[in-house]
Structures are given as structure tokens and as C-alpha cells.
A and B are shown apart, each in its own frame.
Chain A
Amino acid sequence: MNGNGYVEWIVGTFVLIGVMFSFLSAVGLIRFPDVYTRAHAVSKSANLGVLCILLGTFLYFLLTEGYFSIRLLLGVFFVFLTSPVVAHMLNRAAYRSGVAMAEESVRDDLKEYLKREESL
């Protein structure tokens, strides 16, 4: 281990947290029963994982080479901004195109709301 071993520990922690979140979101993507729960798993934890990995990369190049990468910060900002929008649009498209919810789900408030809106 060389002089900047602590950098490797910090960056390794960030990268490991990010990779674990990505893996857990993949497990959720396989095992959850319908579209909406899968979107819930994917849109939060996968993007949090990516944010941790990008932050680890940013810290690595900042601490070892003194390179302040504004592009990675913009990437973090952009992913953070666009991932909820993507999940919202996909869930909305799935609901409007009539994808059924899982059998375990107990109430559907949006259906009553849409029915009331149509009857007006």
C-alpha cells in the first residue's frame, strides 16, 4: 500500500455502497410482482447507487491527481434530476395504458379519481 492508501479506502467505500445498491435494485427488479413496485425498486436504489459511484470517482480524481471534474458533478446533478422524472413518466404511461396492479394491492385511489373526472 502506497502513500495514499486512505484515498483507496474512501473511494472503495463509496464504490462498494453504490455497487451494493445497484445489485439490490436488480434483485428488486427480478422479484417484485408488478410494474409499479419494480419501478419503486429501480428508480430509487439504482440511481442512489450510481450517485455514490460517481461521487467516489469524483473523489478519487480529486484526491489523487487534484483534478476537479465539473463533468462528473454535472453527471451527478443530471442523474439526480432526471431519474424521478423517468419513473413518473413510465408509471403514468403504464397506468394509462391499462397495466394491472398485483393481486396483493388493496386500494386504487387513482381509478376512482379518474372515474370522477370523466363523469364531470
Chain B
Amino acid sequence: MFQVFLSGCLFILLVSILAALYRLVKGPSMADRVMALDNIGVNLLAGIAILSIFLRTYAFFDIILLIGILSFVGTIAFARFLERGVVIERKRVR
């Protein structure tokens, strides 16, 4: 019973990931696409948490933390690239 409920929750998460994929394909600006990617990362993290309840294991908790950190770093890098054109700025010599 509980397993069926968790499967339904995973399905709803899948639907929301598909909605973010729609925004990722269609989004008119670049910031839309980056935001959709960040949302996919966050939903994936939630899906892994539900899957670890489903399988009754705690081997995936490192992966949850890792996906959170990687999604944050990637999104910040994209935002800097959109704003300034470079990700890592060099020290300018004038």
C-alpha cells in the first residue's frame, strides 16, 4: 500500500520534470532554460529521496547532497555567464 503511494508520488514528480523539460525546450530566453534545468535538478533530488524510502536503503543520501551542490554550482556559473559573458574573470592589467 505504502509502496503504491510512493510510486504515485514518483509519477507526479516525473510529470513535473516533464513540465520543466517543456520549458527547457520552448523557453523564450536563456534564463528560462537555466531555471528549468535548476528545477529539474531539484526535482531529481526529491525523486532520489523518495526512491530511497521506496527501497529502504540509505546508500543514496550522499547522492542527494551531491546533486544539490552540483546543481547550485552549475546554475551560478550559467548566471554569471549570462550576466557578464565570462564565468571566471581575470584580473585586468591596464
Contacts and interface: CB of A to CB of B under 8 A. Distances in A.
Contact of B61 (A19, A53, A75): A75
Given A92-B83, A93-B82, A74 B53 contact: no
A67 B58 contact: yes
Interface string A12-56: 100110111011011101100001001100100011011001101
A1 interface: yes
B12 A15 contact: no
B65 A69 contact: no
A89 B42 contact: no
B11 to A, nearest CB: 9
> Which DSSP category, helix, strand, loop or mixed, fits chain A's interface?
helix
Interface size, B (range):
35 or more
B75 A89 contact: yes
Interface in B40-94: 42-43, 45-46, 49-50, 52-53, 58, 61-62, 64-65, 68-69, 72, 75-76, 79-80, 82-83
A26 B45 CA distance: 15
Contacts of B34: 90
12 contacts: A8-B2, A15-B6, A29-B20, A49-B46, A50-B42, A50-B43, A78-B69, A78-B72, A85-B76, A91-B31, A93-B82, A97-B83
Interface of A: 1, 8, 11-12, 15-16, 18-20, 22-23, 25-27, 29-30, 35, 38-39, 42, 46-47, 49-50, 53-54, 56-57, 60-61, 67, 69, 71-72, 74-75, 78-79, 82-83, 85-86, 89-94, 96-97, 99
